[in-house]
Amino acid sequence: MNKNKILVMLALIGLAGCQSTPSNLYADKEAEIGENSTLQIVTAEGLSDERNITVPAGYSVKEFTRLSIAPYITKVGFDKDSIQTTIDNGMPAIMLGDGLARTQRFVVLDRTSTARDYEVTFQAENTRSEGAIVLGEALNPDYILEASVQLGTSTKKISDERGNYQELTFRSVVSAKLIDGTTREIKHAFPPIRYNLEPKTYVRSKNREWIAGFKYTEPEVIDAAYQEAAQKSLQVLVTDVMQQFPVGGKAVHYRSNRFAIAAGSSEGLPTQGVKIPAIIFLDEFGLPIPLASGYLTPGGEHSSTFEVIKWKESDKDAMSIRKKLEALGKDYLDRNKIYAVSVGTSADWKL
């Protein structure tokens, strides 16, 4: 793929649509760091490539609002022959919920159980069918996120100029799916997300007693390493979930390559000061006509700005619309539906 491509796609994100996820997942036995799933990043260089001025797959103008989501960790398992410990499902669940909340894209609904079957019971007992909320009643989620975490370790004997020692690698695999909170239909099944920590080194005696280095004999040290491995995979999952729900809003004013967008924190745009890679497009009776690429900068509760980096100069329709914008500005926007929509994760994004 050309290095200027706007979407530096991940192995874990490269498959689109609804896919079945294997039920028996195992972490990479070789624990190769180079095979780790990573975040999808969009650069200014990519935005400057006209070929990338296209709307993202699966966007929905109707979902240009802050959505509610109920995350569940259905299982935390360990690979055979790995170091075993006991990790409460609650800890990864907290990591996942906190990660989703920090994006500010979602209203995260805290649940205390481990499966969507509980969600069905929860809604029946605590919510109204139409999703209205009154005192003492809880909110139905727009989506349910189910995830399972598989953990493991691998050990290698190393002999080099530093001597003889062991390398212990902690690894994780997360499988997940998004489920419509009302219909129970699966919106998206994510490819497995893998993460291997940098190897921990230690030295032990011939009778397998610890001498120096990583203290693999201490349960709290093992627990901390497993939690770190799980958190890395869950961070990638959070970003992957965000790609399923592009943010955006309608353009209401235009001047000198800048659009005013009627969307802000209430519509799911973050307030942490990041510039969001985005595309501006005309919606012509359901047919999107991409116009330009640029950055969407959140402003207030219901406002943002979109600044053009590159117009789609090779498209005559886009250039015709640009001329009308330059001539008419707000009047043209009042009569037409022009939207900004996010196309990926900024290089400045921090989870």
Helices (H) and strands (E) in the chain, counts: 6, 15
Closest by Cα among 288, 295, 281, 291 to 345? 295
CATH class, domain 248-346, is mainly beta
Q: Where are the alpha helices (DSSP H) in 171-313?
A: 219-243
- Find the Cα–Cα–Cα–Cα dihedral 323, 324, 328, 332, rounded to 10°: -150
Q: Write down the domain spans for the chain.
A: 33-44+65-243, 248-346
In whole numbers, what is the pLDDT of the chain averaged over residues?
82
pLDDT of residue 4: 39
Residue 123: CA atoms inside 13 Å, Cβ hemisphere, count?
Answer: 21
Residue 17: other Cβ atoms inside 10 A = 8
pTM above 0.75, yes or no: yes
* pLDDT for 111 beyond 70: no
Q: Assign a CATH topology to domain 33-44+65-243.
A: Double Stranded RNA Binding Domain (3.30.160)
Question: Residue 332 is which amino acid?
Answer: Y
pLDDT of residue 32: 53
How many whole angstroms separate alpha carbon 143 and alpha carbon 175?
17
* pLDDT for 115 beyond 60: no
Q: Are 293 and 263 in contact (CB under 8 A)?
A: no
Read off φ and ψ for residue 46, nearest 5 degrees. -65, -40
Q: What percent of the chain has pLDDT over 70?
A: 79
Read off φ and ψ for residue 4, nearest 5 degrees. -90, 0
**CA-based angle 267:191:156, to the nearest 5?**
125
The per-residue pLDDT for range 281-296, each reduced to its tens digit, is: 999 999 999 999 999 9
